[in-house]
Amino acid sequence: MAATRASGTTAVRYGTMRDNVLALEVVLADGRIIRTGSRARKSSAGYDLTRLMIGSEGTLGIITEMTLKLHGQPEAVSAATCRFGSVADAVGCVIATIQSGLTVARIELLDEMMLRGFNAYQGSDLPEAPHLFVEFHGSPAGVGEQAQAFGDLAGEYGASAIRWTDRAEECRELWHMRHQAHYATGALDPGKRTLATDVCVPISRLAEAVTHAQALARELRLTSTIVGHVGDGNFHCGLRVDPGDADEVARIHRFTAALAENALRLGGTVTGEHGVGVGKIAYMSAEHGAAVAVMRSLKSALDPKGILNPGKMLPADDEG
Amino acid sequence: MAATRASGTTAVRYGTMRDNVLALEVVLADGRIIRTGSRARKSSAGYDLTRLMIGSEGTLGIITEMTLKLHGQPEAVSAATCRFGSVADAVGCVIATIQSGLTVARIELLDEMMLRGFNAYQGSDLPEAPHLFVEFHGSPAGVGEQAQAFGDLAGEYGASAIRWTDRAEECRELWHMRHQAHYATGALDPGKRTLATDVCVPISRLAEAVTHAQALARELRLTSTIVGHVGDGNFHCGLRVDPGDADEVARIHRFTAALAENALRLGGTVTGEHGVGVGKIAYMSAEHGAAVAVMRSLKSALDPKGILNPGKMLPADDEG
């Protein structure tokens, strides 16, 4: 993958991370070593074991090698930041952008609290308002035209302070800031720790989901930054927590539960990237229903002794 | 999916068919009904049952509903046909196009014999030489620029008779011709039937694979057209056969065997789109090695009585 695909930032142009995995070498529970997939870009020969293993969190096998698609560096790049009056406007602009057929290389939402974090972290004085960071790749005129079209759409959604650059160095600088989001969250409420969680919803429900998360944090008196890979409908909350404060920990749990339940209510998933582990096992049955039993059958078939990452991802039989 | 994604033609811009499936409803062997995936564009919650079911040829469950991604109609379209001196030149042009970062919406190879088929079918007098059909989607200037860049690359690979159009009607006409490939193959060797087969190889080995297939057909005195979804490294052979001619049937079997074995030798797969069924069961072990046993375990876990499309896709235990 091109360097520009780092850090899980959305890339509608390049697909999700898992779309870029062609083949795997996997060690199974009984020590057998298998190869899944090939260097061919597609296959209809047999079950898609590559996708079955990706995201299985080590519960079906241990991935020891992977073959990835490579993307060439684009001829031209144009990136921008712009400011919106509300999260709803920012997300409305994203939806309009995607519906217009513009092929974004990345498009990221940063909420008001995230901007406050950047100000605290880097000593800046940026307006604490929702922002979009966007980037287009392609041929010079094509990129210019897409930038123009995006700028027009952003204007329709009340964007201000649109700042474009097509200089590689400035693009890097812009995304460097974005990639500091974790540290910038850490600059809020000094002395606390960050708990990160994510959900993913249909893009048409994204504004609703983000607005709900913001209201929830206010209601529960929690500090939460939001960074969204909005081209995918996926967003991350960075919650500040004092592990010694039992009441705050309880409010954090209420937040993450309400966030996950709302994602399901909106037709989404309790995690777009982070995975299930133990923290989201409780929602597996709510999200997948009868399919959880199917997942359990697959687990038993490939790891009958339950020695691979035991207790992770799948609820015990009597839990769901 | 947009109408332009019909008929399995390559769409690097839009991903493969399976990339466009978000969610399924599946009836299992024991009558349970499950839902896999959601309307969210990505998820890390549990095993990817959607991908496991896609391409399982009804051996794990019966798909009764699917949720697909939709793509907007592009603002501008530019399509072209061009002629090459050899398959190697045509495929070289495809590789250069992809490496240049041009995002093709579709790019199809038609070999000499395919052109002969079109002439026979539609009474035309097109030169019987390898052709590429290509289409770009995007903004007007962007599409123009990509068309220009492609034209330059095609020129470097000795393309002639490059015919561009950006009129929707002419684009439709052009692809209508391509979509008649099956009937055009049927216009060769009247009275025979068509047997279609496909393989998929890494794009870097595609010229070699297609050239091998052509030489093989000549050597075995078979009529075979080739149509390639070359952006994916996938191509289809349309072989004309008289089912009553035992010798020809035997030569067809030698052809399909050598085609599949060569695809594996080149690091590819014995089928990119058509699937395994019974015809390619013999190659499953050669392609997947120890992973076939894993596929068999999954099949046993989900269909212990073996009632779903029995005998298809997976070789019996003692066969591999």
Query: For the residues B231-255, what does the mean pLDDT come to?
Result: 97
CB atoms within 10 A of CB A120: 16
- Report CB contact under 8 Å: B141, A142: yes
Residue B52: give the domain boundaries: 3-68
ipTM over 0.90: yes
Instruction: Round to whole Å and give the CA distance between A81 and A109.
Output: 10
Q: Does A315 touch chain B (CB under 8 A)?
A: no
Same domain as B174, residue B95: yes
- Report CB contact under 8 Å: B290, A32: yes
Mean pLDDT of chain A: 91
Same domain as A141, residue A86: yes
Q: Does A76 touch chain B (CB under 8 A)?
A: no
User: Is the pLDDT confidence value at A8 over 60?
Assistant: no
CA of residue A57 relative to chain centroid, distance:
17
A58 domain-assigned: yes
Note whether B86 and B182 are within 8 A (CB).
no
Residues of B in contact with A137 (CB under 8 A): 101
B83 domain-assigned: yes
Same domain as B81, residue B169: yes
Among candidate residues B26, B63, B28, B23, the one with its CA nearest the CA of residue B43? B23
Name which of A139-143, B214-218, B272-276 the model is least confident about: A139-143
Same domain as B88, residue B169: yes
Q: What is the pLDDT of residue A205?
A: 95
Same domain as A42, residue A107: no
Pick from B18, B46, B68: which residue ends a domain? B68
Same domain as A171, residue A93: yes
Same domain as B128, residue B42: no
pLDDT band at A4 (very low <50, low <70, confident <90, very high): very low
Same domain as A103, residue A48: no
Domains contained in chain A, number? 2
pLDDT tens digit string along A78-135?
999 999 999 999 999 999 998 887 889 999 999 999 999 999 999 999 999 999 999 9
CATH number at residue B32: 3.30.465.10
Contact map slice: B 89-148 vs A, CB within 8 A? 98-103, 137-146
Same domain as A95, residue A24: no
CA of residue A21 relative to chain centroid, distance:
17
B305 domain-assigned: no
Note whether B192 and B229 are within 8 A (CB).
no
Bridge partners, residue B137, by sequence = B77
Contact map slice: B 151-170 vs A, CB within 8 A? none
Q: In angstroms, what separates the C-alpha of B30 from chain A's closest C-alpha?
A: 11
Same domain as A111, residue A27: no
Residue in chain B lying closest to A74 (CA): B101
Question: Which strands form B234-241's sheet, in the order they lie side by side?
Answer: B160-165, B76-83, B131-138, B104-110, B224-229, B234-241, B193-200
pLDDT tens digit string along A128-157?
999 999 999 888 888 898 899 999 999 999
Q: In angstroms, what separates the C-alpha of B139 from chain A's closest C-alpha?
A: 7
Give the one of A40, A297, A301 whose C-beta lies nearest to B269's C-beta.
A40
Among candidate residues A119, A234, A149, A162, the one with its CA nearest the CA of residue B38? A234
CATH number at residue A119: 3.30.70.3450
Residue B9 Cα distances to B81, B186, B274, angstroms: 15, 20, 13
